[in-house]
Amino acid sequence: MDHVGASLELIHLVCATLIFIRDVTKETSGHTNTTDFLNRTLVFLEAFSDVCFSDVSGLLRDTRVNPALTRDVECSLYSLNKSLAAHREAWRYVGKSLKRDGEQRSIDDLRRGRAATLDTLYEKKAWRDEIKERSQLWREKARSGLYDSLFGPEEMTALTCNCVRWTHRLRQTIEIVFLGIGPPTPEFRRGRQAAILGVEEILERQYRAGEEPSGNYNALTGTLRDAIGIEHSSQGLIKTIYDDGSEEIDVLVEPRTDKDTPAEYMCHLTWLLQAPHQTDVTVKHDAQEGYQLHTLSCMGFIDDPFHKRSLIIYRSPQSHPWASNPPSLHDMISKGPTARPSIGSRFLTARALASTLLENHASGWIHGNVQSRSIAMLPRSLNDLELSPFFVGWGVLQPLEATQFPLEPNLYRHHARFGRPSSEYANEHEIYSLGVVLLELGLWRTMAKIFARRLEKFPHFAIAQQNDLFNRIHNATLDWANSIEIEREMGKRYAQAVLKCLTWHYQDPVEGMLEFRKQVVDVLTAGCGL
């Protein structure tokens, strides 16, 4: 059986089992939320099956799709099916009992049939009667205590967690499929199935990555309540109020000099950053298991030619209505041990950064300037006391005009980008930069502090020094990643994830994204419960 056939069979089994669980528990008090969740999961799997495996237009039947993606979907479905093993056996047992009585089909008959769904096309009386009879028979035959062991609160919580984990994984894999071959139709990204699958946002981001803003996209014409002085750093955020002429809006302002972001790039950059994305995450579970783009909602930019700069305007999150200027991750680490969060909090930050980078690459985007100064720390919601990372300071390609380069930002850069501002970006360059940031987060020490002596003596370097200087910096960074200090702080698996990033190299970008998810994002997810 090929990967597509195996995946279809697995979806059939999973859906049948989930419907069985739903019908066994739906008449029990306290299971309303579980029933709603199972219904949403079933609708998701139906849409996923139709988009990926339909006979004519199924995306995973397309020969252009990298085989690694088809295998990944099959493995995710195997894992989801495995997590339902006990419930599936209960479903099988009832099916065998009914078959012995000559009343209904066996599970083998179901495998060869259509996927169990809630769609009106399939929700026929015969199907409803069969599910209802099986669940009723199970309740009648269940021995004392057996119900709680399969359908008690703890079991339902574990079931929900597994469904969330593997549906998130399936969603993220299909995002990479879309990146490679596009959605089934141009209208798909605004349709019902895209909404069910939860891929509208990333499809819009992928669309914008390949397009240009319209000719009437211009700078904002409103005004800021507070003047932004030229002394503010180009990567810091300033809290103020923006007046668009009709209302006042809480905003965060990021000044960008024309040298850092030439005017011809500003329209496209801010147009990209206006693509939709979820930033207010109130459910910790989704924050840990999902793949989200942690960046701020961009409103546009204000042109400031007098100071030779532009001001990127972000809508201030609801969690940050009255606070002062938000700190960067670099600011927090620079405060030293007294400001060091718990291990669990640092794992959450690391996981958010890694999943953001993965989602960024699945969108067809490149950040271009990953470093701790370009990560703002803000709470996700009004009631969240912990700070979460949000990417700012997005970089753009720049012409090679300078002969001297500042050392500190280059401490975060891959060899292909070290002192080479005009070189094309690649995913592996950003993964390297992430590895440096994760090293800082684990050691709770900035690269500026680690290389303080060198920065004091040589804050800039010349083109002729690029290769030799990078090798010295890189080897010293690897020594820190291999040190007992980071293992003692964060554990061996965290240290291995850092080392993976610093030595990352995959020729195929699709396989690289899947491996990054496995070797970095999943490893950091496992540490979030500490």
What integer pLDDT is reported at residue 451 of this predicted model?
96
What integer pLDDT is reported at residue 128 of this predicted model?
60
How many contiguous H segments (helices) and E segments (strands) does the chain have? 23, 9
The neighbour count for residue 331, using CB atoms within 10 Å, is 18
DSSP 113: S
Whole-prediction pTM value? Answer: 0.89
Please tell me the number of Cα atoms within 13 Å of 173 on its side-chain side: 28
How sure is the predictor about 104, in pLDDT bands with cuts at 50, 70 and 90? Answer: very low
Burial class of residue 441, CB neighbours in 10 A (0-12, 13-18, 19+): buried
Of the two residues 309 and 109, the one the predictor is more confident about is 309
Residues 379-396 pLDDT 10s: 877 777 788 999 999 988
Can you tell me the mean pLDDT for 201-209? 94
Distance CA 253, CA 300 (A): 10
Q: What 3-state class would DSSP assign to 274?
A: coil
Determine which of 63-77, 86-100, 159-173, 446-460 has the lowest per-residue pLDDT on average.
86-100
DSSP 519: I
How sure is the predictor about 95, in pLDDT bands with cuts at 50, 70 and 90? Answer: low
Nearest by Cα to 384 from 358, 337, 352: 352
For residue 437 the two structure tokens come to 């940031």
Domains and CATH numbers, the chain: 3-198 (no CATH), 209-529 (1.10.510.10)
pLDDT reading at 458 higher than 50: yes
Please, what is the end-to-end C-alpha distance for the chain in angstroms?
41
How sure is the predictor about 30, in pLDDT bands with cuts at 50, 70 and 90? Answer: low
Amino acid sitting at position 290: G
Can you tell me the mean pLDDT for 5-9? 90
Highest-confidence segment of 16-25, 102-111, 501-510: 501-510
Residues 405-452 pLDDT 10s: 899 999 999 999 898 877 888 899 999 999 999 999 999 999 999 999
For the four alpha carbons of 57, 62, 66 and 69, in that order, the dihedral sign comes to positive
Residues 321-356 pLDDT 10s: 777 889 999 999 999 999 999 999 999 999 999 999
How sure is the predictor about 87, in pLDDT bands with cuts at 50, 70 and 90? Answer: confident
